[in-house]
Structure 1
């Protein structure tokens, strides 16, 4: 399918949303920005087609935001662990509201509903033991083992995407994002890091891929220390260009290698698997 041009970017004021605001327009997208917080576009950032300040609880605002778009890149919500009530409102109820708006847009136009690219997370499978030595890479069909209420909300989002694909024909690519920052902050991130440029490449591939239904992929760069299988993402057309190994010598010198006896190092989710979670993760 041709790459969609008008894309609603939710969570546009957040860290990842801000990075994508600067990178995705180079792929030809007109971005419609939505966030609970006011969005200020700095000088030099490509101008958005529209800027909307709204909560995911505002279903009327969501319906208007979705109207006329080709796709939605859904980054909004709480991105760390929080109380169940806060996760329930933002990540679970909010994601449901978003999918309902997408469904209603398809009904309103009488055509296909916008595609959704859903920001899932590696924390949906966080209690999966990390590969060591010659262990195989973790596949996308590994059993889900959320490490937090946050991870649980991403399991819900993936299941909701599957339901709306089967019931309403809405296409979704769920991207289990690792850590998308300009640089990895610790040794664990060397295995799950996704450079912002590779993040834009992956979202672009997911927005325009010919897949249908619900597809789950892992999101990271082509890291030397990679823990999971990027094959499904590559099948969408994703061609990562970066590798966290350029940061490895400094981080290992400062922090040491991962200790398999340390509960914050033993599993895919890192410090999310401790109670309470240890920050930084």
Structure 2
């Protein structure tokens, strides 16, 4: 089950109508992927997309049939009530792994789809931000998880679920603790955790194509001058980030000023999620 796929690669992209999913719909085909799209909402411009909830087990089972991998971006991406997070991010991710397990069991050749799980820096949100400029080391992937919200808690669960399905069933996963993947950073803090869309596609490609990943946790960001975390496990997959948020520094510093040592949103890895988290609007 550990070998990377060769030849044409069909990937199930969950959350295809979301912001990150929309970016990856454009970028991943350039890396040689054919995409099968799934979202709870219709996907604009993609009439063949599967419209289904992650807890629709029959639709999910059909969605993973024959795929080489799954890029799992679906779910609530901000804070919400525990009940909503439970249904979407926790139960939904469990149902995805069950569908992948069933697909693997049905294959005579013993192969299994590789899962790339969109984890988040909010799984370690209460970790103090390092003062790298003062000599603090970069934050490693092995730092204890300290989720900052129910959302962050669901990402911690997802990482544990991935580890369980590797240990119990031999299903491989790369859990990517994504920082902020937008076309450009929007504030000074984001400069440390920003991942350009092009680097996001490069990282997801590396996670889908590397060999023998077992369950690997990586941070997802560009090669930022102000980087807070250690990208070594991502680079070990073959990820070579090419972008740096520093090109936006002059504009953002002029607008916002430097990070504050008294602002709670600047003291922790999770930013404003620790004290004033944005709330999922649905």
Q: Shorter-chain TM-score category?
A: over 0.9
The one of 68, 91, 94 equivalent to 2:92 is 94
> How far apart are residue 40 of structure 1 and its match?
1.5
- Partner residue, 1:30: 34
> How far apart are residue 127 of structure 1 and its match?
0.5
- Partner residue, 1:270: 271
The separation in 1 between residues aligned to 2:68 and 2:278, in whole angstroms, is: 39
Instruction: Provide Cα deviations, 1:123-152, integer angstroms capped at 9, x if missing partner.
Output: 000101001121000000000000000000
The separation in 1 between residues aligned to 2:43 and 2:162, in whole angstroms, is: 27
Q: Which runs of 5+ in 1 are unaligned?
A: 42-46
Q: Is the 8 A contact 1:182 1:196 kept in 2?
A: yes
RMSD: 1.3
- Secondary structure of 1:119's counterpart equals strand
The separation in 1 between residues aligned to 2:187 and 2:84, in whole angstroms, is: 28
User: In the alignment, is residue 40 of structure 1 matched against residue 26 of structure 2?
Assistant: no
- Partner residue, 2:112: 113
Q: Which has the higher mean CA deviation after the structures are superposed, 10-19 or 260-269?
A: 260-269
The separation in 2 between residues aligned to 1:268 and 1:115, in whole angstroms, is: 29
Q: Which runs of 5+ in 2 are unaligned?
A: none
Q: TM-score, normalised by structure 2?
A: 0.94
Instruction: Provide Cα deviations, 1:163-216, integer angstroms capped at 9, x if missing partner.
Output: 000000000000000000001111110000000000000000000001331000
- Partner residue, 2:83: 85
> How far apart are residue 77 of structure 1 and its match?
0.1
- Secondary structure of 1:21's counterpart equals helix
- Partner residue, 2:23: 19
The separation in 2 between residues aligned to 1:278 and 1:209, in whole angstroms, is: 34
Q: Is the 8 A contact 2:78 2:278 kept in 1?
A: no
The separation in 2 between residues aligned to 1:80 and 1:192, in whole angstroms, is: 16
- Secondary structure of 1:145's counterpart equals coil
Matches within 5 A, 1:55-94: 55-94=53-92
